[in-house]
Structure 1
């Protein structure tokens, strides 16, 4: 197929839509897609209902996780309240054979992936670097350094391709991380080697306290894929239907051998960066209120209700499940974790090195000495 070039020589099939793709407006009304370089198939009501339920449960678990920091059960928690459409919608578009590479803010994505919430929160409690089995869940450990997981995602996707698998990799990233060198290296590698990876940018307008205007002069972050030959799109990240529709297209693009896909989702985090942050120092109450009116959960719930796909009984049922899962999470997180200091040496090398064995023996000897001293003192 012959590629059409826009003025300036840019391939139009790579360009994102001039305006973020939107299928449902903030009032939950279905709207006609704006003219753009691509048109997307609206998800079925059944899939949107599943997405809505995942958002209800995910938000309740997110709120509970925030409460756990106030109870001293988590050292820190980066809430994703307001970004549920991005996290639940993106995860529901991939399958169990696909890989996921989360950041520290993707707790709701991990919950949606089917990972035990207690295991998902282990990192944030400080018990271990990762509380779940990455291989079993095809989910990499949550990444705190900005954008370093994108290189891993590109490599994993390329590895799957070399094995003859049609698995894709979904890599989450924030807007601030698009300024990091690893972001650009990952896009370039993925494009050159046609790695089936989807880079999903949740543009929540702030890199902690740095506003987007002080991060980039690009007309949209989605345009950053063009220079590397990466198909790109921007979406209304608070529109669950648009998230799922564009993710479906991205997965199909990557899985069918056409290489990487970059998505910029315009969204907003309703809470502070973490419980250690005071967001009122850099954003106004009016700004937050304006985004509250764009709540992705309320938007989808309105559309489902108006069109007869959701009733009060179903809403109560989903909310009840959310309460039960939040209660279970609270009860299990209130139990003191049993931590073995020797676990420091687990999962470091496939075959422990002589130095690691020596260090482990030193720790074991010190623990035994402490135990002997405590026993003598108790006599």
Structure 2
């Protein structure tokens, strides 16, 4: 194993500077390109030119992702889903990170990355199947370069690091070929950053200079535990203790999230190792549809963050600069309505799985032990069918 190269100073000195105590507004170190008022600002390290088509595309992605979330929440309330993990307020963090990916990059999600799944071309109906309990995720992770949702908190960080180390050995890192070089993104939340798996992943990624971006959506609530009880310093500063850079970005700013994630991914593809991106955002909804956030947080906090709504700020910018008209907005609303209809009708039509399907895809080649279990289960299940026939 070749020695780990030194930290690349070209990634920006501000990424390794230790700032003061965490501030509730994100702090002076926050990377931002679009203010909550919809004004375009610039950053010395992370600044990109966005075309009108690109801006409209990001806005469309966020609007449709929010519609997915709204429809899924309603379906759960009507008993069509067992549970749903909301992403309300986190659309910019997910769409910015998702659209910064190249086709060959690979994503390891948690259970809330509905916007990233949308960016990877996954039919949101496949997400509903998972939360309805009829499958474990109906998409092909190899085809979509998007892993299955991970329920075990923080486990995907280790999966992502191991996959990234495999990419190194496959020779798809640091070749200089933009169509070949690849990186990995591990998504997790602020609560998961307290898990041992995530910190172990940091150690391995730093030690082996793995091409992985750790993307933490700090929505400030680990279910009902506030971030202030989880960390004495801003989360992005933790990266310094492991030997790689960290950066905090305004997670409600889709432009800044895109720019920062793109830079971190390129750094990984070039063989410069891992980066921790902390997307500072806010979970405006509940942790899941089984949660009641009114029991542990103030409504004033929610109202404060509604003023920083990630979709509203882009819409203001687009309208102010004449980049959208009423026809565009009407067409987008129609598209969102059609998506909602697709999800409502498609969810109710999802078939129940065959009971024996649980034995499929356990191993590449069926083991003798699994064969015996499968045959025993089939005989047991057939017994119920026989009794029903009588």
TM range (shorter): over 0.9
TM-score norm. by structure 2 comes to 0.90
Kindly state the Cα deviation for residue 4 of structure 1 after the two structures are TM-superposed. Answer: 10
Structure 2: which 5+ runs fail to align? Answer: 20-27, 173-180
CA separation of 1:366 and 1:232: change in aligned 2, threshold 3 A? same
- Give the match for residue 28 of structure 1: 38
Q: How does 1:171-250 map to 2 (within 5 A)?
A: 171-218=186-233, 220-250=234-264
Match of 1:319 in 2: 333
- The aligned residue for residue 345 of structure 1 is 359
Shift of 1:270: 1.1
Matches within 5 A, 1:302-313: 302-313=316-327
Distance in 2 between the 1:168 and 1:307 partners? 35
Gaps of 5+ in 1: 6-10
Equivalent residue for 2:81? 74
Deviation at 1:158, TM superposition (A): 1.4
| In 1: Cα distance, 2:53 partner to 2:167 partner | 31
Contact residue 7 and residue 272 of structure 2 kept, 8 A:
no
Aligned twin of 1:113: 120
Shift of 1:16: 7.4
Find runs of 4+ consecutive structure 1 residues off by over 6 angstroms. 1-5
Residue 139 of structure 2 is matched in structure 1 by: 132
CA-based RMSD of the aligned residues comes to: 1.9
Contact 2:15 2:247 in 1 (8 A): no
The Cα shift of 1:307 comes to 1.4
Question: What is the CA–CA distance in structure 2 between the aligned matches of 1:304 and 1:294, rounded to whole Å?
Answer: 16
> CA 1:3 to 1:77, structure 2 compared with 1: closer, same or farther past 3 Å?
closer
Separation of aligned partners in 1, 2:364 and 2:115: 30
- 1:39-75 Cα distance to aligned partner (Å, 9 max, x none): 4334333322211110011111110010010111110
**Separation in structure 2 between the aligned mates of residue 43 and residue 170 of structure 1, nearest angstrom:** 23
Cα displacement (A) at 1:108: 2.4
Q: Is the 8 A contact 2:35 2:41 kept in 1?
A: yes
Q: Deviations over 1:174-230 (max 9, x none)?
A: 001111111111111112211111111100010000001111101x10001111111
Q: Which residue of 1 aligns with 2:16?
A: 14
Partner-residue secondary structure (3-state), 2:47: coil
